[in-house]
């Protein structure tokens, strides 16, 4: 591939190599810290059940012992994780699916993706859930609590998988003929390994990035939540005793995942697929962070049940529905439009590049209305845990930072893509995420 097609990256994001290094170390540490700092082993979650100093004493005491480090590895958990990952790959390979083309790459080429996520969501995934439910009903909820009990081992196994994949993709990106991500070719090892050097790493027709983004981590998140329901049921004497808060968290997050799988083609217009390479940032995000951090609320409720009552349940349900409505209609408007249809007859402007930008409907209200919907849902997922600890609000807080930063990255990418037209678009649609506020 020529130097013109793969230019050197001259502009760093994430504060450059030191930032990339800090996040690469920080994300795994944070994942373990959320477990060790907010679990039964630490006596609960700060500040009410375990003081921060008690938690930090426990952590310092633990990490200085060799046994603690050995305890991070669990061969049985690693094998279970490997079996799960293999199942996802086999399901992708053998389930029938359509071939859809992604957006046009800067080579002018379009990659073909085999999609069967919707199929996977509503058949294999439901079948797996059906089997799981069958097992739970036949043998009792305690038969599916192993994820709760093997938490640390499974976390480590997914971290190893993320590390291996990022390193493999970085290594093969030096092979001839690879199209690199514009942001991942700086020449600095740590930075490129973190951001992702090759844009679309593949093994044959198996697209590593899109596969990881939607399947092993996202579906595992739901399985983890089911295991947390079972853990709570086991402690409280049966599934009928599971709290309303736990059912809400399970329903909201399962719906979100099913929605992502069902709308699989929409993934191909996200910035992860169109602009970012596949490095440690995405591999650890997809495989470790999503399943083991996004399930924090359910894990908390497993050992700390919260009864909401009908009024709070309806309020939280309503909040989630509002968020989901904005998220889905905004993403739908953009996807229809990018796929060449405009069913709502929305207004648009045409850029010199030829690409059109919506200026009415949700995309006329703010430049990232879908982020607003996602954030409202994030709040609705934390609220069921009550207010005894701020730790379960970690998700919505982190997510706000992630989306603000993501919006800035996307804004910069669009400024480079559309030049003056983007400046004109920003005048027409001045708000970034929340109309009249931000
Ligand atoms: N749960 C989670 O952890 C996360 C969820 N998400 C969700 O993923 C989804 C996708 O997010 P993301 O990829 O960041 O961003 P978007 O789906 O918002 O896509 C941004 C792209 O859309 C195009 N675009 C921008 N403005 C317009 C317009 N007015 N009209 C038409 N096209 C426009 C541009 O690309 P172009 O012009 O080249 O088509 C831009 O680069 C979101 O719903 C987000 O909330 C994201 C991150 C994490
Ligand atoms: C370093 C670090 C912790 C990075 C985390 C980023 C990732 C967790 C997220 C980046 C973009 C994501 C998307 C989804 C999940 C989270 C990550 C991987 C997503 C698959 C969730 C389901 C949605 O329906 C979606 C398909 C729109 C979404 C795409 C982006």
Contact present, 181 and 276 (Cβ < 8 Å): yes
Q: Is the CB of 371 under 6 A from ligand 1?
A: yes
SS3 275: coil
- For residue 334, report the distance from its CA to the centre of ligand 1, in Å: 8
Going from the Cα of 267 to the center of ligand 1, the distance in angstroms, rounded, reads 9
Structure tokens at 407: 């919006």
Cα–ligand 1 centroid distance for 40 (angstroms): 38
Tokens in use for 136?
């739970």
Indicate which ligand has the atom closest to the C-alpha of 327: 1
The answer on pLDDT for 289 being more than 60 is yes
9 C-beta neighbours (distance < 10 Å), count: 20
SS3 122: helix
Query: Which residue's alpha carbon is at the smallest distance from atom 14 of ligand 2?
Result: 213
Query: So what's the pLDDT on residue 120?
Result: 66
Structure tokens at 99: 């071939």
Q: Is 289 exposed, middle or buried (0-12, 13-18, 19+ CB in 10 A)?
A: buried
Atom number of ligand 2 nearest to Cα 27? 3
Q: Give the residue with greater pLDDT, 399 vs 69.
A: 399
Q: How many CB atoms lie within 10 A of CB 166?
A: 25
Q: Which helix (H) or strand (E) holds 215?
A: none
Is the C-beta atom of 363 inside 6 A of ligand 1? yes
Residues near 109 by Cβ (< 8 Å), separated by ≥ 6?
Answer: none
**Residue ranges per structural domain of the chain:** 20-37+73-306, 308-437
Ligand 1 and 270: CB distance under 6 A:
yes
Residue 377 CA to ligand 2 centre (angstroms):
14
257 Cα nearest atom in ligand 2: 22
Q: Determine the atom of ligand 1 nearest the C-alpha atom of 403.
A: 47
Q: How far is the CA of 410 from the centre of ligand 2 (A)?
A: 14
What whole-number percentage of the chain has pLDDT above 90? 61
CA distance 268 to 273: 6
Of 412, 379, 414, 384, whose CA–CA distance to 396 is shortest? 379
**C-alpha–C-alpha distance, residues 240 and 82, integer Å:** 33
Q: What is the CA radius of gyration of the chain?
A: 22
Percent of the chain with pLDDT over 70: 92
Task: Please report which ligand is nearest the Cα atom of 323.
Answer: 1
Measured by CA distance, the residue closest to atom 13 of ligand 2 is 213
d(CA 270, ligand 1 centre) in Å: 5
Nearest atom (ligand 1) to Cα of 330: 43
Give kind and range of the element (H or E) at residue 98: strand 98-104
Q: Is 399 exposed, middle or buried (0-12, 13-18, 19+ CB in 10 A)?
A: buried
Atom of ligand 1 nearest to the CA of 363: 29
Report which bound ligand comes closest to the CA of 374: 1
Residue ranges in 237-309 assigned as alpha helix (H):
244-262, 271-274, 280-284, 290-293, 296-303
Say how many Å lie between the CA of residue 142 and the centre of ligand 2: 31
Which pLDDT score, from 0 to 100, does residue 33 have?
92
* Residues 384, 299 contacting (CB under 8 angstroms): no
For residue 428, say if its preceding peptide bond is cis, omega within 30 degrees of 0: no
pLDDT band of 185, cuts 50, 70, 90:
very high
HSE toward the beta carbon, residue 122, CA cutoff 13 A: 10
Q: Which residues line ligand 2 (CB under 6 A)?
A: 23, 27, 213-214, 218, 259-260, 267, 270, 272, 281, 284-286, 289-290
Q: How confident is the model at residue 122 (pLDDT cuts 50, 70, 90)?
A: low
Residue-by-residue DSSP string for 130-173: HHHHHHHHHH-GGGG-HHHHTHHHHHHHHHHHHHHHHHHHHHHT
Which atom of ligand 2 lies at the shortest distance from residue 267's CA? 26
Report ipTM for this prediction. Answer: 0.94
What digits encode the pLDDT tens for the residues 339-390? Answer: 888 888 999 999 998 889 999 999 999 999 999 999 999 999 999 999 999 9
| Average pLDDT over the chain, rounded to an integer | 89
User: In sequence order, what are the residues at sequence separation of 6 or more whose Cβ sits closer than 8 angstroms to the Cβ of residue 266?
Assistant: 331, 335
Cα of 279 from ligand 2 centre, angstroms: 14
Give the pLDDT confidence score for residue 394 in this predicted structure. Answer: 94
Q: pLDDT digits over 25-45, tens only?
A: 999 999 999 998 898 877 788
The atom of ligand 2 lying closest to the CA of 260 is: 24
Strand 348-350 relative to strand 206-207: parallel, antiparallel, unpaired? unpaired
Q: Would you say 366 and 433 are in contact if contact means Cβ atoms under 8 Å apart?
A: yes
Decide: 215 and 116 in contact? Cβ < 8 Å: no
Mutate to test the pocket of ligand 2, among 29, 209, 213 (most ligand atoms within 8 A of CB): 213
- Kindly report which listed range (130-134, 154-158, 267-271, 292-296) carries the lowest average pLDDT score: 130-134
pLDDT tier, 129 (very low <50, low <70, confident <90, very high otherwise): low
**Mean pLDDT across 42-69:** 73
Q: Which atom, in ligand 1's list, is nearest to the CA of 275?
A: 41
Segment 385-408 shows an average pLDDT of 94
pLDDT at 123: 63
DSSP state of 199: S
Query: What is the mean pLDDT of the segment spanning 204-221?
Result: 92
Confidence of residue 194 (pLDDT cuts 50, 70, 90): very high
């Amino acid at each position: 591939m020529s130097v013109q097609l793969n230019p050197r990256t001259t502009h760093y994001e994430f504060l450059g190599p030191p930032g990339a290094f800090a996040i690469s170390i920080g994300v795994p540490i944070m994942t373990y810290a959320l477990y060790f700092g907010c679990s039964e082993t630490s006596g609960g979650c700060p500040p009410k059940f375990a003081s921060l100093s008690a938690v930090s004493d426990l952590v310092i005491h633990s990490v200085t012992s060799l046994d603690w480090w050995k305890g991070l590895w669990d061969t049985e958990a690693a094998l279970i994780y490997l079996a799960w990952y293999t199942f996802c790959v086999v399901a992708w390979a053998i389930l029938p699916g359509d071939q859809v083309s992604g957006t046009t790459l800067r080579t002018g080429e379009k990659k073909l993706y085999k999609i069967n996520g919707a199929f996977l969501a509503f058949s294999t995934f439901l079948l797996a859930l059906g089997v799981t439910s069958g097992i739970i009903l036949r043998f009792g909820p305690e038969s599916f609590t192993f994820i709760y009990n093997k938490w640390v081992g499974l976390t480590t196994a997914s971290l190893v998988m993320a590390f291996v994949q990022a390193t493999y993709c970085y290594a093969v990106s030096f092979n001839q003929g690879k199209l690199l991500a514009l942001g991942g070719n700086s020449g600095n090892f740590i930075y490129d390994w973190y951001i992702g050097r090759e844009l679309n790493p593949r093994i044959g027709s198996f697209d590593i990035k899109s596969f990881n983004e939607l399947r092993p981590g996202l579906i595992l998140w739901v399985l983890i939540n089911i295991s947390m329901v079972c853990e709570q049921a086991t402690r409280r004497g049966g599934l009928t005793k599971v709290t309303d808060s736990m059912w809400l968290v399970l329903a909201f997050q399962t719906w979100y995942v099913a929605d992502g799988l069902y709308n699989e083609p929409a993934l191909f217009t996200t910035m992860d697929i169109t602009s970012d390479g596949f490095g440690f940032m995405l591999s650890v995000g997809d495989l470790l962070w999503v399943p083991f951090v996004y399930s924090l609320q359910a894990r908390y409720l497993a050992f700390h049940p919260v009864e909401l009552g009908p009024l709070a349940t309806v309020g939280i349900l309503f909040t989630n529905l509002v968020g989901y409505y904005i998220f889905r209609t905004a993403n739908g408007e953009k996807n229809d439009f990018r796929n060449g249809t405009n069913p709502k007859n929305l207004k648009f402007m045409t850029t010199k590049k030829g690409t059109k930008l919506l200026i009415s409907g949700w995309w006329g209200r703010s430049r990232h209305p879908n982020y607003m919907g996602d954030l409202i849902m994030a709040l609705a997922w934390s609220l069921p845990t009550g207010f005894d600890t701020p730790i379960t609000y970690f998700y919505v807080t982190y997510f706000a930072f992630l989306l603000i930063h993501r919006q800035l990255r996307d804004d910069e990418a669009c400024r480079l893509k559309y030049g003056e037209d983007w400046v004109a678009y920003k005048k027409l649609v001045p708000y970034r995420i929340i109309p009249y506020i931000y």
